[in-house]
Structure 1
Amino acid sequence: MRLFGALAGETLSLSFQPSREYNVWISERPGTGLPPAELDKLKQDCETVARACLAGQVPDYGLFAEDGVAWDRSVVTLITRIADDRPIAFNAMPQLDVIRGGARETVLHLGLVMVDPEERSSGLSWVLYGLTCFALFLRQGLRPLWVSSVTQVPAVVGMVAETFSEVFPAQDATPQSFYHRHLAHQIIHRHRQAFGVGADAGYDADRQVIMDAYTGGSDNLKKTFAVAAKHRRKEYNDFCEQELDYGRGDDVLQIGKIDLAAGQRFLARSVPRSALPQLAVQAAMVLAGAVLVPMIQWLDPTRPYNRLRPLK
């Protein structure tokens, strides 16, 4: 079991084994925290998964952009098969800088998810979409963490709506709040390159729908409604078919957050029971690093802590 860097203010890097078949590695901002050899290996593994998904091609945005800056601001989750150490899935979640309530913070963008076609029935979606968000939520001391998602896939639209809290847009009664609109505005005007949307794409702020979204490096990810994976609940499929023009290439920009209620839903609905014991250990370690360790250090009057001086 590998766990380090979980203290508040430091980057998160942990390894988790959800089953006997797979190993999960979460690395926050690997471009700034990993040694060159480990970073190169991680890049090669993600590229291997991308080629398996796109018939030998890789996108030219996000992690795969020529400038490589995404590695400095993303949280990368890599899943490998234990038997042969083969990479079979990854998720790259950019941390997008925004202003909320006059203060700087980040929105965690759910980012690019790719799963080897041979492994898509392995039940790993809870790892790729929820585990990283849950770990970062614990790391920041259970304070709500805003998340965003750009997709045209009904299964993903429904998953985001059911996993996170106060999600808009979604097929329910959640109205668009000021923060939904404000954060979406900043993301679409400052960070569209993070999810491969070209500068010429239109944007409907009332519906939070990006029009003609597949012109900024994500061209080979465009799908028809017939091909796009459907959600088990028909209302999410109907919502996407009605709101999005798949011929033009529209995406929905969803904004929500992970809070205590979303964390409880994730543990109750998504995590397999067999993975709960190890996840509990990892969660306790991350939460201790984020809350208990700084508190213990702060309460010791004989040692300096950041700007605080020892009591004389």
Structure 2
Amino acid sequence: MSSAARSSLVKELRELAATSLQPLPDYQCLSGMPDALNDKLIVTMRDDATGRVAAFVSAVYMQIALRAGDPPRTVLHMGLTCIAPALRRQGLMVPLFMHLYIYLHDLPECHDGLWITSLAEVPSTLGKIAEGMVDVYPSPSFPEPSDVHLRIARAVDERYRSAMGISPDAQFDAENFVFRGSNPPGSCFRKDSEDPQFYHRDAEINEFYRRLLGRDEGNEVLQVGFLDWERILGSGRKHAQTESYTDEVKTKL
């Protein structure tokens, strides 16, 4: 992609993000830095009528050694997702992420699946990761972290805070994988985890993450899990008749 095309894409992403995030953060794919997109995997959905970006997900490639003495492996942070306000609650999330997953599935280094991270302040988002991935810590079904979980979490704490928009003043609770004070007052990502609109439909999952998040404290839970192709593609096939997949994606499900 040429520098002009990169600048144009960032401008479009910033315009959409500004409809949801105030003040608009200068981080991730929204940054004006020339190398801002170098470690990103971005999927966009465009409005058929206007051609403008209507939704996007911007994931971050990280390089982390999963075992002592091993070379670094690709770990994907699920990153930043934005959808135009008028199009929310219309089922865009599934096709948006399925296109991301299909791209990853075709990469040789991801053929057997890959480890992922997610960071969120509300139970609804955390619950989706807990249900969609496998071996997710923390989650109700995975009570203790493995050595791989711990290695990835430590790498995030030590090297990838900026990439995830975590406040440098946040304290990392390594037992529960919670960044305490990650979103200080005034942050565009600050949400009240006790607001019912952010609840998960599963009562057990909802209560589990509410306990970790606390009450409007600006805390964020770091989830580490594994992207298993059998589960992901199976879910994609289940939704194939109703979701807006491209023909290329449909042939790979």
Q: TM-score, length-normalised on structure 2?
A: 0.88
CA distance in 2 between counterparts of 1:220 and 1:194 reads: 16
Q: In 1, are the aligned partners of 2:122 and 2:198 still within 8 Å (CA)?
A: yes
Q: Indicate if the aligned counterparts of 1:75 and 1:94 stay in contact, CA closer than 8 A.
A: yes
User: In the aligned structure 1, how far is the partner of 2:245 from the partner of 2:95?
Assistant: 12
Which residue number in structure 1 is paired with residue 14 of structure 2? 47
| Residue 58 (structure 1) aligned to one of 24, 47, 58 | 24
Q: Is the 8 A contact 1:108 1:146 kept in 2?
A: yes
What are structure 1's unaligned runs of at least 5 residues?
1-33, 285-312
Contact 1:154 1:230 in 2 (8 A): yes
Asked if 2 retains the 8 angstrom alpha-carbon contact of 1:165 and 1:261, the reply is no
2:201 matches 1:232: yes
Helix, strand or coil at the partner of 1:100 = coil
Quick check: 258-267 or 107-116, which moved more?
258-267
> Map of 1:137-176 to 2, 5 A cutoff?
137-140=105-108, 142-173=111-142, 175-176=144-145
Unaligned runs of at least 5 residues, structure 2: none
Structure 2 distance, partners of 1:92, 1:83, is 23
Alpha-carbon offset, residue 116 of structure 1: 1.3
Q: Could you say what secondary structure the match of 1:158 adopts?
A: helix
Question: Is 2:200–2:206's contact at 8 Å kept on the other side of the alignment?
Answer: yes
Q: Which residue identity is paired with 1:129?
A: F
Give the TM-score, by structure 1 length.
Answer: 0.73
1:69-108 to 2 correspondences below 5 Å: 69-101=35-67, 102-108=70-76
- Select between 264-273 and 193-202 the one with higher mean Cα deviation: 264-273
Q: Which protein has the larger Cα radius of gyration, Structure 1 or Structure 2?
A: 1
1:250-284 CA-to-partner distances (Å, cap 9, x unmatched) read 11100111123333333244544455681233x38
RMSD between superposed Cα atoms in Å: 2.3
Q: How many residue pairs end up in the alignment?
A: 248
Change (3 A) 1:269 1:154: farther
Instruction: Deviation per CA, 1:288-312: give whole Å up to 9, x if none.
Output: xxxxxxxxxxxxxxxxxxxxxxxxx
Q: Give runs of aligned pairs for residues 229-308 of structure 1, distance below 5 A.
A: 229-273=198-242, 275=244, 278=247, 279-281=249-251, 283=252
Equivalent AA in structure 2 for residue 280 of structure 1: K
Alignment of 1:111-122 (within 5 A): 111-122=79-90
Contact 2:10 2:32 in 1 (8 A): no
Q: Is the 8 A contact 1:155 1:231 kept in 2?
A: yes
